[in-house]
Amino acid sequence: MIKFGPSGNDKLYYEQGNKTTLGAGKWVSELGLNAYEYSFGRGIKLSEEKAKVLGEEFAKYGVSVSVHAPYFINFANPDDEMAEKSYNYVINSCKIVKALGGNRVVVHTATNGKLEREDALQLCKKRLKVLEQKLIEQNLNDCLICLETMGKYSQIGIYEEIIDLCLVGNIYIPTFDFGHINCTMQGGLKTTADFEKILNYAIDNLGFEKIKNVHIHFSKIEYTSKGEVKHLTLEDSVYGPEFQPLARAIKNLKLEPVIICESSEIMAQDAVKLKKIYDDLVD
Ligand SMILES: [Zn+2]
């Protein structure tokens, strides 16, 4: 089943008097949504005990939970001590997502830094092999590490790179952030064929099973020639991308992804709009 939900709490959620995330499962389910992404972008500030309580709430309302690992991760940093920190950010995110009752951890793989891009990619591959081994040793390899396509050229994460990195092991699947992809393609995502080209490339290289329930981030994003500037809402009519052609591509290819809306401030309200666009497709 295809799933829709927000990344974090909508401003309306707070305006209605909610102070913590405890009520988020009920709240998003009442909007007709069935997914939620918890962000540890600025650090993991949720204990395993609290995560268990929260996880029970999400489960009660049939909402699937994923987490976004800290932004500090960088598997292309040549310093092994820093790599060790990156491994631990992922390992700890896996522990908490399991306590939350989920198994998806979204990861920003790396920043290019001073290395040549090809060298940075090779280093990432080496490190991702090590990471997989560490997760197996800790019985955390039932988690899916969802490597995200990135919006700036300085980051490792154009879609071909992410698909290549996902070949490293069974635990790796892509997070297609189509807002980001549209930034690095300078507005190149317009037609259903544009989206199908990327999804088919993934299916051809990683197999249908790995892509069927792929992780997707969607929002409209402002960009310059350097790439991503900031997340917008679906109201934007300048930068895109539009969701309708992506919804059509998902339907044509018989995919059932988890689609997380990352609109600025109104991510849950916009997730409802995304779901409606998909539900309104005529076969
Ligand atoms: Zn991200």
Distance 221 CA to ligand 1 centre (A): 13
pLDDT value, residue 113: 86
- Structure confidence by residue, pLDDT tens digits, 100-116: 999 999 999 999 888 99
pTM of the model: 0.97
- Structure confidence by residue, pLDDT tens digits, 113-150: 889 999 999 999 999 999 999 999 999 999 999 999 99
Q: What average pLDDT does the chain have?
A: 97
Nearest Cα to Cα of residue 233 among 211, 257, 208, 263? 263
Nearest Cα to Cα of residue 71 among 102, 97, 43, 113? 43
Q: How far is CA 71 from the centre of its chain?
A: 12
Q: How many CB atoms lie within 10 A of CB 204?
A: 11
Q: Residue for token digits 């997502």? A: 97
Measured in Å, how far apart are the chain's first and last C-alpha atoms?
A: 17
List, as ranges, residues with CB under 5 A of the ion ligand 1.
148
Is the omega angle on the peptide bond into residue 241 within 30 degrees of 0, that is, cis? yes
Distance 274 CA to ligand 1 centre (A): 19
Q: Residue for token digits 């995110």? A: 93
pLDDT value, residue 61: 98
Distance 14 CA to ligand 1 centre (A): 23
Distance 267 CA to ligand 1 centre (A): 14
| Percentage of residues in the chain having pLDDT higher than 70 | 100
**Structure-token pair, residue 127:** 């490190």
Nearest Cα to Cα of residue 275 among 258, 265, 187? 258
Distance 39 CA to ligand 1 centre (A): 9
Confidence of residue 283 (pLDDT cuts 50, 70, 90): confident
| Percentage of residues in the chain having pLDDT higher than 90 | 98
Listing from the earlier edge strand, what are the strands of the sheet with 104-107? 3-6, 258-261, 215-218, 172-177, 144-148, 104-107, 64-68, 35-39
Distance 258 CA to ligand 1 centre (A): 14
Distance 37 CA to ligand 1 centre (A): 11
pLDDT value, residue 281: 97
100, 171, 91, 63: CA torsion to nearest 10 = -10
CATH assignment of the domain containing 105: 3.20.20.150
- Structure confidence by residue, pLDDT tens digits, 218-265: 999 999 999 999 999 999 999 999 999 999 999 999 999 999 999 999
Rounded to whole angstroms, how far apart are CA atoms 237 and 229?
16
Say how many residues make up the chain. 283
pLDDT value, residue 254: 98
State how beta strands 221-224 and 227-231 pair: antiparallel
Evaluate if residue 202 carries a pLDDT over 90: yes
Domain span including residue 113 = 3-279
Distance 148 CA to ligand 1 centre (A): 6
Evaluate if residue 59 carries a pLDDT over 90: yes
pLDDT value, residue 112: 87
Distance 146 CA to ligand 1 centre (A): 10
- Structure confidence by residue, pLDDT tens digits, 10-30: 999 999 999 999 999 999 999
CB 25 within 8 A of CB 63: yes
Domain total of the chain: 1
Q: How many CB atoms lie within 10 A of CB 129?
A: 12
